[in-house]
């Protein structure tokens, strides 16, 4: 093992190393940090960014970006709130759905939004940044329209209407937050799909070299549409969890969360150029963001300093990423010359 | 050889240019003669554009020196070269479509008055230079609104504005010009050379260089192979020099009567219209038998690659019939064509063949990974890995660990990976576009052996090559394209360099 190999190993494990160092640092800085209570609280926050980040990772891996996820969080939460408190009115009749149906409807809305994003990007050749920026405004507007900007409070449902139990997604089961369970399930499935299915290989190939992927027989357009649908679904799930945690839905929920999702993915080593990214990395990235935010709160660091530090961490992560990439390219060239 | 009386304005001495893996220029010594049209010719990748990029200050030579009027010079940048009066017009236009004609003309050489742009002066000078080009376009027109041919003229006008222009390098300036525009351009070129400006002219149109050129220099495989005064030579001589006759490969000699073997593919009247009139392919018909290696020969722009693009579903505007195993098929998307049994090895390995971010194993499996899934829809890694292992052995990729990045392989092994990716889909027909491009001689022979190996298995192969020796050696039968027209179909003893060369410019009417 030469020097470059050692540096490479450290670089590859850097997200986990950074997370460990952060946990040690905050445990020393604040007595209340390393307790099961605060760790579970951090995990609950992390679950939201983590799930959004997983959807975002899929999009980034194809070389795209999805700015609409924060608004979809708000929209799906508002749809859920509307259906619980006021039901669905058609031809003068009002229907109330059970919670599982409401959840499915909210997720379906997220999928539809993603589908529209995908169609605009692939069939109309609009840059992902612009298409999803537009969708960001549209979905936020739609979220506000459901209630004219008001909050749907007290989303507990009524026994008589058979729509109780929505608050479960924000609670704990056997001392373990449901949100974190959902994160774990989504992360495992997403990681399996990315690493172990043809679809996963294909989207990595699209981000690596779209032309070559197309000529190799990859259904580039279809795969891209699927990726935005998945991102929309993840955002809708986060909307349900966030709404359930508050037991109320507010139309501005999820505002700017797309940035946290991108940050989590980038901190985890996903390349904005496409072709490179892992789900494990993104989940660790989400934990880094969560630990920094909540850790600093517990240490009494002002909100403004928190912003500055978060910003520095993200930029630093990308600088290190670039360094890793150039080192990798150099090592590949070296290996190639040795082969000769 | 050239006339000793002609003054040499610029001399390049033993230039080498080495890129990782390839030698683009090999000990090239080249003269630009003052007040003459110096024509450069050669296939893609022969090194002519690289040499011009060095002379224009875009790239630096790995070894060798440049002398300007006998004095040694070194250019650090295009700005540096421009200050010595050397300008280059690229094949791909370097214009700003979002700006007006006069803004484009004076980009980075703006005239100012009291620190502000002097647009009145810009317009006046622009009108003058456009009038000189016989091209009265309003200087306020947006460049994006002009036709490509008109944009080409703007690019030329821009270079005429360079004060004390001495050398003007033109890389295929006529590829998008109409006949009339070519005439205008040639008039300008004569006018320029009369004032002592030297022109370097790169073109693939042989009839043009006979018309405008004074001296011709021919490049092949990074080497300067011949030069001559145009008045002393003819087109067949040029073609012969371009394609060369040095190295030879053992001739494939299958004692098979192809007429009696099964027809796998029949192409009838394949026609592909060109944007803006004319044809890229004009009623091309041929057939392909089981286990046969059919060569497609032609000069650049003859329509070689376009045939493959039509077959693979990349050119939906084509017409004509494709008959596969006796049944007429409709050409679908790329994945559909792959499932019908076609595999394509594209000409540009880096751009179209490889996923640079993925490892060797995944690059090989990419087209076929959908076949290795288990009941859960997950990739069965052991089956996938066994398949790629077998492929690596079958095509002899030299690699210690297939999880290594694809770019850690040499050019020849990268090419074998692309070949393996196609071969893994179990094709009946393989389309190989310049399979030996950019790889060393040893690896070339290995690629040819792969072609024979697959032909023996019953795969039919269509091979495009612009190297005469190569195509004569590997093909059982050769069709020749020229200007989109099939001009010859040669078998057996008719396959000779002379016949191929003759057919390769028969499609040009001039």
pLDDT digits (tens, 9 = 90+) for A9-46: 887 788 888 888 888 888 888 888 888 888 888 898 89
Size of interface A-B (CB pairs under 8 A): 102
Contact B354 A215 (CB under 8 A): no
What per-residue confidence (pLDDT) applies to B337?
93
Q: Report the candidate in A179, A187, A162, A165 with the shortest Cα–Cα distance to residue A245.
A: A179
What per-residue confidence (pLDDT) applies to A35?
84
Contact B358 A215 (CB under 8 A): no
- Chain A environment of B358 (Cβ under 8 Å): 201, 204-205, 208, 275
Binned at pLDDT 50, 70 and 90, residue A61 comes out as very high
Task: Pull the structure tokens for residue B302.
Answer: 């003859």
Domain for residue B348, yes or no?
A: no
Contact B425 A217 (CB under 8 A): yes
Binned at pLDDT 50, 70 and 90, residue B2 comes out as very low
pLDDT of B246 > 80? The answer is no
Task: Pull the structure tokens for residue B7.
Answer: 């003054």
Contact A339 B379 (CB under 8 A): no
Averaged pLDDT of chain A: 89
Contact B408 A332 (CB under 8 A): yes
For residues B198 and B100, state if they share a domain: yes
pLDDT digits (tens, 9 = 90+) for B167-213: 999 887 776 666 677 788 888 888 889 888 999 998 877 778 888 89
pLDDT of B471 > 80? The answer is yes
Q: Report the candidate in B376, B343, B322, B354 with the shortest Cα–Cα distance to residue B461.
A: B343
- Chain A environment of B352 (Cβ under 8 Å): 211-212, 215
From the number of C-beta atoms within 10 Å of its C-beta (0-12, 13-18, 19+), residue A302 rates as exposed
Report chain B residues touching chain A, CB-CB < 8 A. 20-21, 312, 314, 333-335, 338-339, 344, 346, 351-358, 362, 365-367, 369-370, 373, 377-379, 381, 398, 404-405, 407-410, 413, 421, 425
Whether B435 contacts B253, CB under 8 Å: no
- A188 at B interface, C-beta within 8 A: no
Contact B409 A328 (CB under 8 A): no
Q: Is the pTM of this model over 0.90?
A: no
- What's the CATH number where B503 sits? 3.40.50.300
pLDDT digits (tens, 9 = 90+) for A119-157: 999 999 999 999 999 999 999 999 999 998 888 988 787
Q: What percent of chain B has pLDDT over 90?
A: 30
**Nearest 10 degrees: Cα torsion B183, B189, B190, B192:** 150
Contact A196 B381 (CB under 8 A): yes
Task: Pull the structure tokens for residue A205.
Answer: 């190939």
Closest-CA distance of chain B to residue A333, Å: 6
Closest-CA distance of chain A to residue B362, Å: 8
In SS3 terms, A276-306 reads as CCCHHHHHHHHHHHHHHHHHHHHCCCCHHHH
Whether B24 contacts B17, CB under 8 Å: yes
pLDDT of A338 > 70? The answer is no
Per the document, the length of chain B is: 510
Q: What percent of chain B has pLDDT over 70?
A: 93
CA B364 → CA A307, B123, B416, distances in Å?
Answer: 45, 57, 9
C-alpha A112/C-alpha A229 separation (Å) is 7
- Select from A201, A202, A332 the Cβ nearest to the Cβ of B407: A332
Q: Which of helix, strand or coil describes residue B85? A: coil
Q: Report the candidate in A278, A304, A329 with the shortest Cα–Cα distance to residue A15.
A: A278
For residues B312 and B183, state if they share a domain: no
Dihedral sign from CA coordinates of B457, B460, B466, B472:
positive
Residue B312 domain boundaries: 260-341+427-510
- Select from A198, A211, A336 the Cβ nearest to the Cβ of B379: A198
Binned at pLDDT 50, 70 and 90, residue B20 comes out as low
CA B136 → CA A11, B149, B157, B485, distances in Å?
Answer: 60, 14, 12, 37
What per-residue confidence (pLDDT) applies to A328?
79
For residues B97 and B179, state if they share a domain: yes
What per-residue confidence (pLDDT) applies to A198?
92
H or E, element range at B240: helix B235-243
Mutation target for A interface from B19, B350, B358, B405: give the one with most A CBs within 10 A.
B358
For residues B154 and B17, state if they share a domain: yes
- Chain B environment of A332 (Cβ under 8 Å): 404-405, 407-408
Ramachandran assignment for A23, one of left (phi > 0), alpha (psi -120 to 50 degrees), beta (any other): alpha
Taking CA–CA distances from B442, the nearest residue in chain A reads A340
CA B75 → CA B17, B28, B65, B82, B85, distances in Å?
Answer: 15, 18, 10, 9, 12
Whether A71 contacts A140, CB under 8 Å: yes
> Which of B209, B243, B277 is the endpoint of a domain?
B243
- Chain B environment of A208 (Cβ under 8 Å): 355-358
pLDDT digits (tens, 9 = 90+) for A260-294: 999 999 999 898 888 989 999 999 999 999 998 88
C-alpha A106/C-alpha A194 separation (Å) is 25
Average pLDDT over every residue of B412-427? 92
Binned at pLDDT 50, 70 and 90, residue A337 comes out as low
Averaged pLDDT of chain B: 85
Number of domain units in chain B: 3
Dihedral sign from CA coordinates of B156, B161, B162, B168:
positive
Domain for residue B60, yes or no?
A: yes
Domain for residue B151, yes or no?
A: yes
pLDDT of B90 > 60? The answer is yes
Contact A201 B369 (CB under 8 A): yes
Which residues make Cβ contacts (< 8 Å) with residue B186, sequence separation at least 6? B211, B212
Binned at pLDDT 50, 70 and 90, residue A53 comes out as very high
Domain for residue B3, yes or no?
A: no
Contact A215 B344 (CB under 8 A): yes
C-alpha A131/C-alpha A123 separation (Å) is 12
Q: What angle do CA B217, B220, B225 make, to 5 degrees?
A: 50
pLDDT digits (tens, 9 = 90+) for A178-188: 999 999 999 99
Q: Which of helix, strand or coil describes residue B19? A: strand
pLDDT of A99 > 50? The answer is yes
What per-residue confidence (pLDDT) applies to B252?
72
Q: Which residues pair with B220 in a beta bridge?
A: B223
Q: Which residues pair with B293 in a beta bridge?
A: B461
> Which of B393, B425, B457 is the endpoint of a domain?
B425
Helix axes B381-394, B411-423, angle to 10 degrees: 120
Contact B346 A215 (CB under 8 A): yes
- Select from B20, B353, B404 the Cβ nearest to the Cβ of A212: B353
Closest-CA distance of chain B to residue A209, Å: 5
From the number of C-beta atoms within 10 Å of its C-beta (0-12, 13-18, 19+), residue B152 rates as buried
Average pLDDT over every residue of B147-173? 83
For residues B309 and B229, state if they share a domain: no
Q: For chain A, what is the radius of gyration of the CA atoms? A: 21
Domain for residue B251, yes or no?
A: no
For residues B442 and B396, state if they share a domain: no
- A174 at B interface, C-beta within 8 A: no
Q: Which of A167-176, B9-18, B154-163, B336-345: highest mean pLDDT?
A: B336-345
From the number of C-beta atoms within 10 Å of its C-beta (0-12, 13-18, 19+), residue A48 rates as buried
Task: Pull the structure tokens for residue B365.
Answer: 């499996």
For residues B161 and B229, state if they share a domain: yes
Contact A212 B20 (CB under 8 A): no
Contact B369 A215 (CB under 8 A): no
Which residues make Cβ contacts (< 8 Å) with residue A246, sequence separation at least 6? A170, A253
Helix axes A178-196, A279-298, angle to 10 degrees: 150
pLDDT of B341 > 80? The answer is yes
Contact B334 A217 (CB under 8 A): yes
Q: Report the candidate in B408, B492, B498, B423 with the shortest Cα–Cα distance to residue B453.
A: B423
Contact B366 A328 (CB under 8 A): no
For residues B111 and B17, state if they share a domain: yes
Domain for residue B255, yes or no?
A: no
For residues B177 and B271, state if they share a domain: no
- Chain B environment of A202 (Cβ under 8 Å): 366, 369
Beta strands in B247-405 (DSSP E): 263-273, 279-289, 293-297, 319-324, 327-329, 342-345
What per-residue confidence (pLDDT) applies to B479?
93
ipTM: 0.80
For residues B60 and B204, state if they share a domain: yes
For residues B127 and A1, which has the higher predicted lDDT (pLDDT)? B127
- A339 at B interface, C-beta within 8 A: yes
Taking CA–CA distances from B399, the nearest residue in chain A reads A339
C-alpha A62/C-alpha A51 separation (Å) is 18
For residues B410 and B443, state if they share a domain: no
What per-residue confidence (pLDDT) applies to B21?
57
C-alpha B52/C-alpha B47 separation (Å) is 9
Q: What percent of chain A has pLDDT over 70?
A: 98
- Chain A environment of B338 (Cβ under 8 Å): 217
- Select from B344, B366, B404 the Cβ nearest to the Cβ of A201: B366
- Chain B environment of A331 (Cβ under 8 Å): 408
Spell out the domains of chain A, with CATH numbers in brackets: 3-7+15-21+34-330 (1.10.3470)
pLDDT of B1 > 60? The answer is no
Q: Report the candidate in B477, B481, B479, B488 with the shortest Cα–Cα distance to residue B455.
A: B477
Mutation target for B interface from A12, A191, A212, A337: give the one with most B CBs within 10 A.
A212
Which residues make Cβ contacts (< 8 Å) with residue A120, sequence separation at least 6? A126, A131, A134, A135
- Chain A environment of B362 (Cβ under 8 Å): 201, 204-205
Q: Report the candidate in B391, B388, B367, B371 with the shortest Cα–Cα distance to residue B379.
A: B371
Q: Report the candidate in A34, A22, A43, A19 with the shortest Cα–Cα distance to residue A184.
A: A43
> Which of B395, B425, B455 is the endpoint of a domain?
B425
For residues B450 and B409, state if they share a domain: no
């Amino acid at each position: 093992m030469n020097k470059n190999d050692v540096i490479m190993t450290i670089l590859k494990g850097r997200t986990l190393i950074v997370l460990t160092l952060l946990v040690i640092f905050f445990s020393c800085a604040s007595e209340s940090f390393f307790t099961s209570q605060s760790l579970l609280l951090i995990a609950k926050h992390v679950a939201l960014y983590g799930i959004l980040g997983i959807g975002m990772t899929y999009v980034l891996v194809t070389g795209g970006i999805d700015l609409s996820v924060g608004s979809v969080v708000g929209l799906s939460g508002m749809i859920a709130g509307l259906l619980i408190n006021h039901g669905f009115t058609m031809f003068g009749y009002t229907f109330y759905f059970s919670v599982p149906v409401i959840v499915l409807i909210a997720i379906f809305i997220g999928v539809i939004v993603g589908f529209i994003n995908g169609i605009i990007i692939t069939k109309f050749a609009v840059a992902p940044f612009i298409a999803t920026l537009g969708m960001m405004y549209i979905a936020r507007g739609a979220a506000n329209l459901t209630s004219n900007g008001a909050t749907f409070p007290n989303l507990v449902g009524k026994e008589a209407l058979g729509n109780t139990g929505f608050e479960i997604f924000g609670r704990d089961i056997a001392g373990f937050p449901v949100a974190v369970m959902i994160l774990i399930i989504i992360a495992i499935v997403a990681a399996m799909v990315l690493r172990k299915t043809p679809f996963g290989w294909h989207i990595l190939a699209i981000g690596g070299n779209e032309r070559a992927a197309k000529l190799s027989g990859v259904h580039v357009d279809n795969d891209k549409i699927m990726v935005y649908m998945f991102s929309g679904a993840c955002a809708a799930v986060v909307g349900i969890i966030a709404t359930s945690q508050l037991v109320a839905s507010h139309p501005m929920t999820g505002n700017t969360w797309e940035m946290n999702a991108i940050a989590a993915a980038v901190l985890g080593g996903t390349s904005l150029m496409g072709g490179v990214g892992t789900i494990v990395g993104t989940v660790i990235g989400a934990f880094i963001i969560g630990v920094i935010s909540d850790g600093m709160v517990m240490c009494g660091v002002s909100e403004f300093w928190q912003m500055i530090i978060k910003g520095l961490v993200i930029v630093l992560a990308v600088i290190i990423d670039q360094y890793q990439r150039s080192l990798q390219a150099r090592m590949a060239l070296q290996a190639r010359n040795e082969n000769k | 050889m050239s006339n000793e009386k002609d003054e040499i304005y610029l001399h390049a001495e033993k230039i080498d240019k080495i890129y990782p893996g390839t030698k683009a220029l090999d000990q090239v010594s080249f003269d630009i003669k003052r007040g003459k049209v110096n024509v450069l010719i050669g296939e893609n990748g022969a090194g002519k554009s690289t040499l011009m990029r060095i002379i224009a200050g875009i790239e630096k030579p790995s070894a060798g020196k440049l002398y300007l009027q006998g004095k040694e010079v070194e250019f650090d940048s295009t700005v540096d070269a421009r200050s010595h009066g050397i300008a280059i017009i690229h094949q791909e236009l370097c214009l700003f479509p979002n700006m007006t004609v006069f803004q484009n003309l004076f980009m980075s050489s703006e005239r100012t008055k009291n620190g502000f742009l002097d647009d009145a002066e810009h317009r006046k000078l622009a009108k003058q230079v456009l009038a000189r080009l016989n091209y009265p376009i309003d200087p306020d027109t947006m460049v994006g609104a002009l036709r490509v041919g008109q944009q080409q003229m703007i690019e030329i006008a821009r270079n005429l504005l360079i004060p004390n222009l001495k050398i003007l390098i033109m890389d295929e300036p006529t590829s998008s010009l109409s006949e009339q525009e070519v005439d205008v351009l040639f008039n300008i070129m004569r006018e320029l050379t009369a004032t002592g400006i030297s022109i370097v002219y790169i073109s693939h149109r042989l009839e043009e260089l006979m018309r405008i050129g004074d001296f011709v220099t021919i490049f092949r495989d990074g080497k300067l192979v011949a030069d001559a005064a145009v008045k002393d030579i003819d087109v067949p001589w040029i073609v012969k020099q371009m394609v060369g006759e040095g190295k030879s490969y053992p001739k494939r000699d299958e004692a098979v009567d192809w007429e009696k073997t099964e027809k796998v593919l029949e192409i009838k009247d394949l026609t592909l219209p060109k944007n803006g009139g004319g044809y890229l392919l004009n009623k091309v018909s041929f057939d392909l038998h089981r286990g046969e290696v059919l060569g497609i020969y032609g000069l650049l722009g003859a329509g070689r690659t376009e045939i493959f693009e039509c077959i693979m579903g990349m050119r939906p505007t084509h017409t004509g019939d494709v008959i596969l195993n006796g049944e007429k098929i409709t050409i679908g998307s790329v994945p559909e064509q792959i499932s019908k049994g076609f595999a394509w090895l594209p000409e540009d390995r880096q751009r179209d063949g490889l996923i640079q971010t993925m490892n060797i194993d995944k690059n090989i499996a990419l087209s076929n990974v959908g076949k290795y899934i288990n009941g859960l829809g997950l990739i069965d890694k052991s089956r996938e890995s066994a398949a790629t292992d077998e492929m690596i052995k079958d095509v002899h990729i030299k690699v210690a660990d297939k999880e290594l990045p694809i770019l850690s392989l040499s050019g020849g092994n990268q090419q074998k990976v692309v070949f393996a990716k196609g071969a893994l889909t179990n094709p009946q027909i393989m389309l190989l576009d310049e399979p030996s491009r950019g790889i060393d001689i040893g690896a070339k022979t290995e690629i040819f052996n792969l072609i024979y190996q697959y032909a023996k298995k019953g795969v039919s192969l269509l091979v495009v090559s612009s190297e005469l020796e190569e195509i004569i050696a590997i093909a059982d039968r050769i069709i020749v394209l020229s200007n989109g027209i099939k001009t010859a179909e040669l078998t057996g003893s008719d396959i000779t360099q002379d016949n191929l060369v003759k057919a390769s410019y028969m499609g040009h009417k001039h």
